[in-house]
């Protein structure tokens, strides 16, 4: 009897750890959906010496990439970015739209793949909706506070950084040679 109880307990613990992990949408499907099934060809934005300090400030660490792929059409850009939550990367799709004045606003944010064992509440609409319409301030911060989620603090920070990064990168598109 004690062995059976131990096995059941171990299986419950393992299954609860696996619940948060998952691929919710592939990057390809995200981009196709962002452009109503007809995505533009991907382009790349080079992270130049000029951009590197601002990107590092936003992310809080050096970005180990020389270029970032994006898709853009009719004032909308789609980005698939990754950031470490607690220990593992979170893959996020972001759509940025330019308003009538040419300002970049976050249209939507979606968790595509979550690899952590906890904190996947960041993929839920109640959390993601806070980012809708967000812009960057002059000091590269979001123009609004983002409420945290107990137990998902590092995942919340990761998504907030990626939102800031996507908005910043979108602002660079008109001046970049890509």
Query: What would the pLDDT profile of 88-129 be if each residue is shown by its tens digit?
Result: 999 999 999 998 888 999 999 999 999 998 888 999 999 999
Q: Which residues of the chain have pLDDT under 70?
A: 1-20, 176-178
pTM of the model: 0.86
Please report the pLDDT score of residue 66 as a whole number.
Answer: 94
Phi, psi (rounded to 5 degrees) for 73: -160, 140
Please report the pLDDT score of residue 18 as a whole number.
Answer: 46
Q: Convert 9-27 to b/e letters by CB count within 10 Å (16 or more is b).
A: eeeeeeeeeeebeeeebeb
Compute the distance between CA of residue 147 and CA of residue 166 in angstroms, rounded to an integer: 19
- Looking at the DSSP bridge assignments, the partners of residue 80 are 93
Compute the distance between CA of residue 102 and CA of residue 75 in angstroms, rounded to an integer: 9
Compute the distance between CA of residue 118 and CA of residue 169 in angstroms, rounded to an integer: 29
The encoded tokens of residue 78 equal: 């789609």
- Greatest extent of the chain over all pairs of C-alpha atoms, in Å: 70
Please report the pLDDT score of residue 21 as a whole number.
Answer: 74
Q: Cβ(143)–Cβ(136) under 8 Å?
A: yes
Q: Cβ(142)–Cβ(72) under 8 Å?
A: no
């Amino acid at each position: 009897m004690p062995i059976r109880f131990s096995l059941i307990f171990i299986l419950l613990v393992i299954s609860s750890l696996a619940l948060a992990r998952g691929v919710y949408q592939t990057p390809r499907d995200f981009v196709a959906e962002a452009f109503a099934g007809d995505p533009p060809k991907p382009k790349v934005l080079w992270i130049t010496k000029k951009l590197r300090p601002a990107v590092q400030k936003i992310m809080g660490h050096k970005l180990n990439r020389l270029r970032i792929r994006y898709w853009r059409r009719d004032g909308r850009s789609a980005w698939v970015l990754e950031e470490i939550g607690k220990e593992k990367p979170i893959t996020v799709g972001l759509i940025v739209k330019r308003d009538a004045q040419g300002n970049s606003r976050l249209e939507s944010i979606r968790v595509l793949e979550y690899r952590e064992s906890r904190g996947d509440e960041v993929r839920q609409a109640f959390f993601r909706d806070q980012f809708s319409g967000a812009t960057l301030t002059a000091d590269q911060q979001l123009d609004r506070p983002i409420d945290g989620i107990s137990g998902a603090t590092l995942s919340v920070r990761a998504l907030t950084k990626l939102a800031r990064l996507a908005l910043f990168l979108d602002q660079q598109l008109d001046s970049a040679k890509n």
